[in-house]
């Protein structure tokens, strides 16, 4: 078991106590972070999935600005993404590692789960199992992986210690974009779509709550109609208003869901990050955030850089930090950093009812 022998119930409690003491005594605000969602949070899970149609970011030029040296890490970014910056602000080194990178070594998975957390996020994943089926880890399966991780944690440190750690940890979500995009390609009953998505989201949150999770940081769906891939379909390069309206409608339902769950599940607390509104504010005044381009991909090909993914032979912009989008569908490292700062600080009302920082510091009942 190696250094895993060192992990005891006492150590778990000491980690939690130190985190709760605040930044003056210890920078870490939470004992661990567990991540669920899609490509905006994926740190390489899809690298371990078989099949030619699995979306992966495991080749250059992805990772060209990765801290510590250029390397493609499975992140759809030129470096870090929003999950990394959220983790850093919570006192972790970066986003916790990908579940599938750890799963072949149970002792490493257990150590990560107890010491820093695990990321289950998967590019292309949706709330619905049918979204891009067979080419990702859907949300329901991500939750099942967490359930098996929890069982291993309980076997090692006991149910009480595992539950205590989970109750103090940060559960980060960003999912729904792929479901909406797939639906938009073959429209149907919008009300039925929302009902299915909210039901699946509710099940995931409720199941994790049953495992002991109490702190949920939820990032809503952004302006899907304004990513380069969507803009490039317009002769004028305009946003797809219909796609944005679908996103906004889902976000309204998500807001109601979280308020209802918090009222119904004792001890559950959450912060809902408004990626949609943050994008609107950024696009209205890009210069305020240091951007010179809000509509094209920094790395890609063709019109608006949206004809292909970011590939080794792609063209890149001169200054990666001055583009909102790294590729045709994903934010740049700089955009991820600014988003995380807004969510943690709650600046300009980009989170509700509290900020990610306030959520992390909140002492919730088990």
Question: pLDDT tens-digit profile of 206-227?
Answer: 999 999 999 999 999 999 999 9
Q: Is 355 a catalytic residue?
A: no
The reply to whether 24 falls in a domain is: no
Query: What is the Cα–Cα distance from 234 to 211, expressed in whole angstroms?
Result: 46
Question: pLDDT tens-digit profile of 63-115?
Answer: 999 999 999 999 999 999 999 999 999 999 999 999 999 999 999 999 999 99
The reply to whether 342 falls in a domain is: yes
Q: DSSP label at 96?
A: P
Question: pLDDT tens-digit profile of 320-358?
Answer: 999 999 999 999 999 999 999 999 987 778 999 999 999
Distance of CA 312 to the CA centre of its chain: 25
Whether residue 365 has pLDDT greater than 60? no
The reply to whether 108 falls in a domain is: yes
Q: Which residues, at least 6 apart from 78, have a Cβ–Cβ distance to it below 8 Å? A: 61, 62, 63, 64, 65, 66, 298, 299, 320, 326, 332, 333
The reply to whether 10 falls in a domain is: no
Catalytic-labelled residue, pool 84, 271, 330, 357: 330
Cis peptide bond upstream of 142, omega within 30: no
Distance of CA 227 to the CA centre of its chain: 17
The reply to whether 80 falls in a domain is: yes
Three-state SS at 218: strand
Catalytic-labelled residue, pool 327, 332, 339, 357: 327
Integer angstrom CA distances of residue 245 from 14, 17, 44, 241: 47, 44, 31, 6
What letters, b where the CB count within 10 A reaches 16 and e where it falls short, cover 334-350? bbbbbbbbbbbebeeeb
Which residues span the domain enclosing 115?
33-361
Three-state SS at 353: coil
The reply to whether 206 falls in a domain is: yes
The reply to whether 19 falls in a domain is: no
Number of domains in the chain: 1
Question: pLDDT tens-digit profile of 176-208?
Answer: 999 999 999 999 999 999 999 999 999 999 999
Handedness of CA 33, 119, 114, 73 (dihedral sign): negative
pLDDT for residue 11:
54
The DSSP annotation for 165-195 comes to: HHHHSEEEEE--HHHHHHHHHS---HHHHHH
Query: What is the Cα–Cα distance from 3 to 110, expressed in whole angstroms?
Result: 11
The reply to whether 18 falls in a domain is: no
Catalytic-labelled residue, pool 38, 39, 174, 320: 39
Q: Are 213 and 266 in contact (CB under 8 A)?
A: no
Q: Is 327 a catalytic residue?
A: yes
pLDDT for residue 25:
43
Q: pLDDT class for 26, splitting at 50, 70, 90?
A: very low
Quick one: how many helices (H) and strands (E) in the chain? 13, 10
What percent helix, strand, coil does the chain show, rounded to 5? Answer: 50, 10, 40
For position 76, which CATH number holds? 3.40.50.1110
Question: pLDDT tens-digit profile of 129-179?
Answer: 999 999 999 999 999 999 999 999 999 999 999 999 999 999 999 999 999
């Amino acid at each position: 078991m190696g250094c895993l022998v060192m992990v005891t119930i006492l150590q778990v409690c000491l980690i939690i106590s130190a985190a709760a003491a605040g930044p003056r005594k210890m920078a870490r605000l939470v004992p661990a972070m567990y991540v669920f969602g899609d490509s905006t949070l994926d740190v390489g899970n899809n690298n371990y999935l078989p099949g030619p149609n699995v979306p992966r970011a495991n080749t250059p030029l992805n990772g060209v600005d990765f801290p510590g040296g250029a390397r493609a890490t499975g992140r759809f970014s030129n470096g870090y993404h929003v999950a990394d910056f959220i983790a850093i602000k919570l006192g972790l080194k970066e986003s916790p590692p990908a579940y599938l990178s750890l799963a072949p070594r149970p002792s490493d998975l257990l150590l990560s789960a107890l010491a820093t957390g695990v990321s289950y996020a998967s590019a292309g994943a949706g709330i619905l199992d049918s979204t891009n089926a067979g080419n990702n880890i859907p949300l329901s399966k991500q939750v099942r992986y967490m359930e098996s991780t929890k069982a291993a944690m309980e076997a090692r440190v006991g149910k009480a210690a595992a539950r205590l750690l989970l109750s103090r940890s940060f559960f980060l979500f960003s999912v729904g974009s792929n479901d909406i995009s797939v639906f938009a390609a073959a429209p149907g009953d919008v009300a039925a779509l929302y009902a299915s998505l909210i039901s699946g989201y509710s099940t995931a949150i409720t199941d994790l709550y049953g495992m002991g999770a109490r702190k949920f940081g939820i990032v809503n769906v952004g302006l899907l109609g304004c990513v380069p891939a969507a803009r490039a379909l317009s002769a004028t390069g305009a946003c797809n208003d219909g796609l944005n309206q679908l996103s906004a409608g889902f976000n309204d339902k998500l807001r109601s869901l979280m308020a209802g769950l918090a009222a119904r599940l004792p001890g559950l607390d959450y912060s809902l990050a408004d990626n949609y509104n943050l994008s609107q504010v950024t696009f209205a005044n890009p210069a305020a955030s240091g951007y010179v381009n809000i509509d094209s991909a920094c790395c890609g090909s063709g019109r608006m850089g949206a004809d292909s993914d970011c590939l080794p032979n792609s063209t890149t912009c001169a200054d990666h930090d001055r583009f909102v989008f790294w590729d045709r569908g994903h934010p740049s490292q700089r955009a991820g950093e600014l988003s995380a700062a807004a969510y943690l600080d709650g600046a300009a009302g980009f989170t509700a009812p509290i900020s990610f920082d306030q959520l992390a510091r909140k002492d919730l009942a088990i």
